[in-house]
Structure 1
Amino acid sequence: MAQHSIDLNADLGEGSAHEEAVMASVTSANIACGGHAGSPDTMRESLRLAARFGVAAGAHPGFPDREGFGRRELSFPPAEVTAFVREQIEALKAVAAREGVPLHHVKPHGMLYNMAVKDAVLARAIAQAAADSGLPLYYGLAGDTSVMLQEAAALGLDALGEGFADRGYAPDGSLWPRGQAGALLPAAEAVAQGVRIAREGFTVAVSGERVAVPARTLCLHGDGAEAAGLARELRTALEGAGVRVAAPAGQQP
């Protein structure tokens, strides 16, 4: 029987004091690159940590919305979305080139990500910027209803289905909205959900329905005080359950 394998990623470069400890437990890092958060200095520090821990580094572009941390629903014409996503990816690429750190993937952030799950026009605009960047790996919400993966694949990207350890799910496979009960899971539940997704490819929605989550990468959020402990506990639990934790094939630096 084939061994279960999954990538463990975290959203980083967002100013957390716990980034080094989180980086030590994950296998890929999505680095904020100037939209919702991030500066040349934070990008450089995150890239250096990724190189130090052997973590695959990728771009984490979001809405240009620092005040709302990229978590507010905004509207832009598709061409503008492609332009600002491409600009953010290129900003990280420039810093990475100076540091000698390869980049491997793109993962949209926050509300830009959540809206692209169901909005094909927005999803294609984001994926076009990723395709233009020359980075072939693209992380997006796993599941049959996620148009962001379909649009990325249509543009020739290797679209990796992503599951979330620490977020509650809606019955349709989308993430339960932040601010509502059940949106953010306590550590023990997050660890259990992460292992179940990695081993069995499903979880249970906040409302009790079984939800298929065919994930090749598993996310935990890296911006809270509990993030380092959760990353460590989840990595240990995955490996203890017989899951090989590694960056996507061919993507480890």
Structure 2
Amino acid sequence: MLKLNCDLGEGVGNEERIMPLIDQANIACGAHAGSEEEMRRCVELAAEHGVEIGAHPGYPDREHFGRRSMDLSPSALRETLEEQIGRLAQIAAEAGLRLRYVKPHGALYNDMMADPELLDRIAGTVASIDPNLRLMLLSTADHEEHARLLEAHGITPIYELFADRHYTEEGRLVPRSEANAVIHDPGRIRERILRFRETGALHSREGTPLRLRGDSLCVHGDNPRALALIEILHRELKGG
């Protein structure tokens, strides 16, 4: 069954209303956004509602919300990932919980999907932190290649689809710098997801059907209509 995930703990303050409606919470780890206080609150809410906890690490760039690529050395990247993921893992452990997966944020996520070497480094770092962690990554036509890369590190992928983002003809996310990258109309998003459930295809911005594997569906927590979108998708996916 397609799960529903959301990026949370990024300073928006909508976690209490969103958490009961989702399956997986991608919690910001303090680099691109968030704080230890917000992490603790998100973990508490996730525990209360039985939601899986995932680390949402990004480039250490709060000024640009982690949406600008950074040229980090392999050692610097490893260090910031270990710090971010480790911080949230410790907070979860204090609450008697554990992290289930890692989903990189923003530019780091996009860079990872465009660069197999970077994906390999991230997967290796995740495996070294905890071999039981999974890695959430964009579902593309190259999912078998990505699965083989992650398998080399003993990591299981979670293939992610985006409810509120447009796709290119190649099955990548349309960059936020381009027009119509983000979909704000709840009715249109509902229609897209219903069509995906019926046909197994999401459509690109230009209308091309893209047959993508999907384990989890994301709505961005900083989308102004996040709660309305999640309420709609919760009803469609869970039937209530």
TM-score range, shorter chain: over 0.9
What letter is aligned with 1:141? L
Q: Secondary structure at the match of 1:143?
A: coil
1:154-169 → structure 2 map (5 Å cutoff) = 154-169=152-167
The offset of 1:200, in angstroms, is 3.2
Per-residue CA deviation, residues 28-67 of structure 1 (Å, 9 max, x unaligned), is 1010012111211110000001011110111001101100
1:47 to 29, 43, 50: 43
Give yes or no for the alignment of 1:83 onto 2:79. yes
Aligned-residue sequence identity (percent) comes to 38
Match for residue 62 of structure 1?
58
Using CA pairs under 8 Å that are at least 6 residues apart, name the structure with larger relative contact order, 1 or 2.
Answer: 1
**What's the TM-score once normalised by structure 1's chain length?**
0.88
Aligned partner of residue 115 in structure 1, secondary structure: helix
Cα distance between partner residues in 2 of 1:198 and 1:73: 34
Mapped partners of 1:28, 1:199: distance in 2: 23
Select which of 100, 105, 120 maps to 2:101. 105
The corresponding residue for 1:213 is 212
Question: What's 2:151 paired with?
Answer: 153
**1:62-211 to 2 correspondences below 5 Å:** 62-134=58-130, 135-145=132-142, 149-185=147-183, 186-211=185-210
TM-score (norm 2): 0.92
Deviation at 1:199, TM superposition (A): 4.5
Q: 1:25 to 1:144 in 2, by over 3 A?
A: same
What is the aligned partner in structure 2 of residue 26 from structure 1?
A: 22
Cα distance in 2 for partners of 1:160, 1:120 equals: 17
Moved more, 93-102 or 155-164: 93-102
Q: CA RMSD in A?
A: 1.7
Q: Is the 8 A contact 1:83 1:129 kept in 2?
A: no
Shift of 1:140: 0.3
Would you say how many aligned residue pairs link Structure 1 and Structure 2? 237
- Taking the aligned partners of 1:197 and 1:138, their CA distance within structure 2 comes to 23
Please report how far the alpha carbon of residue 87 of structure 1 lies from its aligned counterpart in structure 2 after TM superposition: 1.3
Give the counterpart letter for 1:157 in structure 2: I
Tell me: CA distance 1:199–1:58, structure 2 relative to 1, closer, same or farther (3 Å).
farther
Question: Does the 8 Å CA contact 2:135/2:157 hold for their aligned counterparts?
Answer: yes
Matching residue of 1:250:
none
Contact 2:99 2:133 survives alignment (8 Å): no
**Match of 1:58, as an amino acid?**
G
- Counterpart of 1:19, as a letter, is E
Shift of the alpha carbon at 1:85? Answer: 1.1
Task: State whether residues 59 and 108 of structure 2, in contact with CA within 8 Å, keep that contact through their aligned partners in structure 1.
Answer: yes
Question: In the alignment, does 2:226 pair up with 1:227?
Answer: yes
Quick check: which one's helix share is greater? 2
Q: Answer whether contact 1:202 1:211 (CA < 8 A) is retained.
A: yes
Following superposition, the deviation at residue 149 of structure 1 comes to 4.8
* Residues 165 and 194 in structure 1, CA contact (< 8 A), matched pair in contact too: yes
Note the C-alpha offset of 1:73. Answer: 1.7
Give the CA deviation at 1:193: 2.1
CA distance in 2, matches of 1:155, 1:110: 23
Structure 1 stretches lacking a partner, 5+ long: 246-253
- Give the distance between the partners of 1:198 and 1:90, measured in 2 at CA: 36
Post-superposition shift, 1:148?
5.3
